[in-house]
Amino acid sequence: MAKTRVHNFFVSLDGYSAGTSITHEAPIGGAERLFAGFDGRVIHGLGAIDDPITVDRALTSTWGQGIGAEIMGRGKFGPQTGAWTDDEWRGWWGDEPPFRTPVLVLTHHPRDPIHFGNGTSFHFVDAAPDDALERALAFADGRAVRIGGGPSTVRQFLAADLVDFMHLVTVPITLGVGVSMWEGLAEVQDRFTIESVTTASGHTHQFWNRTTGR
Amino acid sequence: MAKTRVHNFFVSLDGYSAGTSITHEAPIGGAERLFAGFDGRVIHGLGAIDDPITVDRALTSTWGQGIGAEIMGRGKFGPQTGAWTDDEWRGWWGDEPPFRTPVLVLTHHPRDPIHFGNGTSFHFVDAAPDDALERALAFADGRAVRIGGGPSTVRQFLAADLVDFMHLVTVPITLGVGVSMWEGLAEVQDRFTIESVTTASGHTHQFWNRTTGR
């Protein structure tokens, strides 16, 4: 079974999967158009969305299946950089973060964990990818670990050859500026078998399954 | 939200989705080739299967999402017809039927319900589709009802215009003989919007979403 999975990673035609200026007002930092038409509630299954049930929605609904923990970069947790100045910040998601598992937040500035009632907890660790993965697998208790992004975090794990499965969604738009999905990853595709389907919305879903032994 | 959903219905190029001779030894009655390459464990999510994670598997993993009850024909429950002569029969599935919800079995011969430890229960009712659906919705408690088959049961519900969503999988084989998916359903497609994608395995997944008011 895949131990590490990337899910629902939307990428523009010019290779960007996030914006460059994350603020409290703009969590995706200018790349909002990547997610136009995406009803994020679908990560909890088809029972959570309105009609119609599309192929896009069915494919993106697999986000949480068999997942026991997530690893994310600090930029996904919040807009602060450097030493924590706002200890009250508990993430973008209010009292019900969608993760419902432990989440490791990679940061050079560790702090106490934060626990929520719905199973979500944030654990702040200063660790290289392989060490972070080892800790996340312990949290996951036999289930898989989702590498949750942002793009630079996914790139770090790809560069370290620690990604078993990756679901990318090519969105037929150009952004012109943003955080690259691909920088520094020449020939990364050689380690994967890739299946693609294109849906009625014009999105192309790519399933990357790692084919080489570790 | 779709109230009634059909999932993972495999259909041959010549329109058959089951075999004609169901016995204890052949639950699918001669149409086993329809399901070659399908790992049925995927209905419980990607965490239940081995690698690789394919588009086929992601799409068929949505079977249980937001489902609170199933309606099935008697032939799906077992090979007996007429009055029950074998009261010990508890279905094909052993002690862990995969449904994990109440299941209504349509039969002209009602009998006492059967309960399993994993949330599955079988309730035997002699009812027309609209009445059966009303009872199943009560069991489903706000969630959707899966119309579970076999094909003649799905056809009955389609003919009564009681299907909101349907996931069919066209398998590129001919069977020559079997139970038809389409008999008596000319122009049924006019009530639906249909999206299709074809995967690397050569299977074509069709998502039928009901577009007319009820």
3-state helix, strand, coil in chain A (%, to 5): 25, 25, 50
Q: How far apart are CA B36 and CA B54, in angstroms?
A: 15
Q: Could you report the per-residue pLDDT of B101-140, keeping only the tens digit for each? A: 999 999 999 999 999 999 999 999 999 999 999 999 999 9
Say which residue, A105 or A212, is predicted with more confidence: A105
**Chain A residue nearest residue B52, CA to CA:** A209
Token pair recorded at residue A138: 């312990």
Residue-range domain boundaries for chain B: 4-79+96-210
**What phi, psi does A208 have (nearest 5°)?**
-100, 115
Q: Is the ipTM of this complex over 0.85?
A: yes
pLDDT category at A27 given cuts 50, 70, 90 is confident
Mean pLDDT of A175-185: 95
CB contact under 8 A, A58 and B55: no
Q: Does residue B66 belong to the interface with chain A, where contact is any CB pair within 8 Å?
A: yes
| Average pLDDT of every residue of chain B | 94
pLDDT category at B213 given cuts 50, 70, 90 is low
SS3 at position B31 = coil
Q: Can you give B79-147 as a three-state secondary structure string?
A: CCCCCCCCCCCCCCCCCCCCCCCEEEEECCCCCCCEECCCCCEEEEECCCHHHHHHHHHHHHCCCEEEE
Q: Does residue B213 belong to the interface with chain A, where contact is any CB pair within 8 Å?
A: no
Q: Can you give B157-174 as a three-state secondary structure string?
A: HHHCCCCCEEEEEEECCC
| Angle subtended at Cα B148 by Cα B124 and Cα B77, rounded to the nearest 5 degrees | 45
Chain A neighbors of B69, CB-CB under 8 A: none
Q: How far is CA A6 from CA A101, A146, A167, B40, in A?
A: 15, 6, 6, 24
**Chain A residue nearest residue B203, CA to CA:** A197
- Determine the distance in angstroms separating the CA of A39 from the nearest CA of chain B, rounded to an integer: 14
A51, A58, A165: residue with CB nearest B62: A58
Level-2 CATH architecture, domain B4-79+96-210: 3-Layer(aba) Sandwich (3.40)
Q: How far apart are CA A134 and CA A96, in angstroms?
A: 26
Q: What CATH fold (topology level) applies to the domain A4-20+28-80+97-210? A: Dihydrofolate Reductase, subunit A (3.40.430)
B55, B67, B197: residue with CB nearest A207: B55
Which residues are paired to A73 by β-bridges? A106
Taking one residue from A and the other from B, the number of pairs with CB-CB distance under 8 angstroms is 102
Q: Could you report the per-residue pLDDT of A112-123, keeping only the tens digit for each? A: 999 999 999 999
- Determine the distance in angstroms separating the CA of B170 from the nearest CA of chain A, rounded to an integer: 15
Q: Which of A50, A55, A194 to mutate to test the interface with B (most CBs of B within 10 A)?
A: A55
Does the pLDDT at position A214 exceed 80? no
Q: How far apart are CA B31 and CA B175, in angstroms?
A: 7
Q: How far apart are CA A109 and CA B73, in angstroms?
A: 60
Q: Does residue B193 belong to the interface with chain A, where contact is any CB pair within 8 Å?
A: yes
The 8-class DSSP code of residue B10 comes to E
Q: How far apart are CA B33 and CA A66, in angstroms?
A: 29
B47, B58, B164: residue with CB nearest A59: B58
**What phi, psi does B94 have (nearest 5°)?**
70, -150
